[in-house]
Chains A and B, each alone.
Chain A
Amino acid sequence: MAGKGLGYEFKKGLWQELPPFRLVLGTCPALAVTNSVVNGIAMGLATLFVLLGANIMVSLLRRFVASQVRIASYIVIIALLVTVTDMFMAAFFPPISKALGPYLPLIIVNCMILGRAEAFAQKNPVLPSIADALGIGIGFLLSLAAMGLIREVLGFGTILHFRVLGDWFEPWIVMILPAGAFLVFGGLVALVNYISSRKAAKAAETARV
């Protein structure tokens, strides 16, 4: 892994390993809370913060953690970060805590964070781990916002609570319900796979010529 550079570690999260569409991890929050743009962004930001903290701590501790108990150790670290964030927010920023409500505790079970600890941070120094967390975290944030955008426009006819479709539009209630999450998720996975397979085909063609 070494030698690929911080820029590469950052950029791979934005397309090549874009969660949750390419790297199919963290699908639970992606399905659960993306029925509006605001919700998607809030979840994305909270996850980005925890992912960054978890990657830094796992990377710092990578020489001390016994490999047989690493998963248990990482889970404790992630749960610690989330709980401390939760209490901190509730104590000092009650309005934000109220708005985030059920999102924060959900992050503990986001396997994307455990996945990054396992696949990246435990094998790499701190700086690449930070780049990895930022790239994956921002990719996740953008994906959730995109899902929220599609579902909010079709389900409510609004973007960020502003009406964008006129009165003629009958909202598709299904889009804001769980079924809509699966429809949009499947559609976006298909779209992302289609684009990358076309890219790969083009690259193969130019290589042949």
Chain B
Amino acid sequence: MNTAIKMFLNLVVIGSFSGAVLAGVFSVADPMIRANKEKELKEAIFKVLPEAKNIKTVKKELGAGNPVVVYIGLDETQKPVGVAFKADGVGFQGNVGVMVGLNLDYLKLKGIEILDQTETPGLGDRIRESAFKDQFNGVEAQPMVEYIKYRKPEKPNQIQAITGATISSNAVVSNINKAVEKVLKAFPKAEDLSKAASEEQKQAPEVRHGR
């Protein structure tokens, strides 16, 4: 009986002590982590839309529980210069989150940034290197982006996959394609974007992100 009580107390004390420490650290760290994530998201948007001085967040429901969030980049005169959006999807080991910048004519990508990834260090995580990312600057997004292996791209809608990391390269490309398709469905024409932007004026911009 004595041992049982000792074991019980032992686990209760260690468990509640750990829980308390975690709760304390979390309450301090979580707002900062969120702020860091938000900052990272903003920086990524400005990177994929280099001419933008301002961002406007636009959200549209594409059927129930399927919201499309896009960030419209505006220049000094509040003229739209491009649209950015997040492309999520499964990579080799987990989510690969890509920030995509698209021209307003929906024809060419302006650039991409990798936001989240847990790909293999040294292999798949090379999707973060500019040698890979920069290939997407100006690549044609219609009808879809493609990748080829071991050779330099031949067509204007192609990029070269990283050797030994085809799955990760493919994840980036297919996430982009899926997201472009979704944005096109929600906002078939560029005018829809600017209309939606002015409609949403009153609503507070909301930046959503998964952990």
Number of A positions contacting B (CB below 8 A): 31
Query: Could you list 12 A-B pairs, sorted by A, with CB under 8 Å?
Result: A36-B122, A66-B6, A66-B10, A68-B7, A76-B14, A76-B15, A87-B26, A88-B25, A90-B33, A91-B28, A101-B117, A173-B164
Query: Which residues of the partner chain B approach A90 to less than 8 Å between Cβ atoms?
Result: 29, 33, 36
> Residue among A33, A83, A87, A155 with the most chain B CB within 10 A?
A87
State in angstroms the CA–CA spacing of A64 and B10 once bound together.
8
A77-B14 in contact (CB<8A): yes
Chain A 101-142, CB-CB to B under 8 Å as 1, else 0, gives 110000000000000000000000000000000000000000
Tell me, yes or no, whether A143 is within 8 Å of chain B by CB.
no
A73 touches B121 (CB 8 A): no
The reply to whether the CB of A207 lies closer than 8 angstroms to some CB of chain B is: no
Q: Which A residues lie at the B interface, using CB under 8 A? A: 33, 35-36, 39, 64-66, 68-69, 72-73, 76-77, 79-80, 83-84, 87-88, 90-92, 94, 101-102, 152, 155-156, 173, 176-177
In the bound assembly, the distance between CA atoms of A68 and B36 in angstroms comes to 43
Question: How many contacting A-B pairs (Cβ < 8 A)?
Answer: 74
**Contact assessment for A92 and B122 in the assembled complex, using a CB-CB cutoff below 8 Å:** no
Contacting residues, chain A, for B118 (C-beta < 8 A): 101-102
CB distance from B10 to the nearest CB of A (A): 5
B29 to chain A: which residues have CB within 8 Å? Answer: 87-88, 90-91
B25 contacts A65, C-beta separation under 8 Å: no
> How many B residues are at the interface, by size bracket?
20 to 34
Nearest Cβ on chain B to A172's Cβ, whole angstroms: 11
The answer to whether B36 and A36 have CB atoms under 8 Å apart is no
In the complex, which of the residues B18, B36, B122 contacts A80, with contact meaning CB atoms closer than 8 Å?
A: B18
Q: How far is the CB of B9 from chain A (nearest CB, A)?
A: 8
> What 1/0 mask marks residues of chain B from 12 to 49 whose CB sits below 8 Å from any chain A CB?
00110010011001101110110010001000000000
Judging by beta carbons under 8 Å apart, are A35 and B26 in contact? no
Residues in A whose Cβ lies below 8 Å from that of B15? 76
In angstroms, Cα B30 to Cα A39, docked, is 27
In this assembly, does B198 line the interface, its C-beta being within 8 Å of a C-beta of chain A? no
Decide yes or no whether B203 CB sits under 8 A from chain A: no
Contact A84 to B164, CB < 8 A, known contacts A90-B36, A91-B29, A91-B36: no
Interchain CB contact under 8 A, B22 and A80 = yes
Report the minimal beta-carbon distance from B39 to chain A, rounded to whole angstroms: 8
Collect the chain A residues with CB atoms within 8 Å of residue B21's CB: 80, 84
Which one of B33, B93, B163 lies within 8 Å of A91 (CB-CB)?
B33
Q: Given the known A-B contacts A73-B14, A80-B22, A88-B25, are A68 and B3 also in contact in the complex, defined by CB atoms under 8 Å?
A: yes
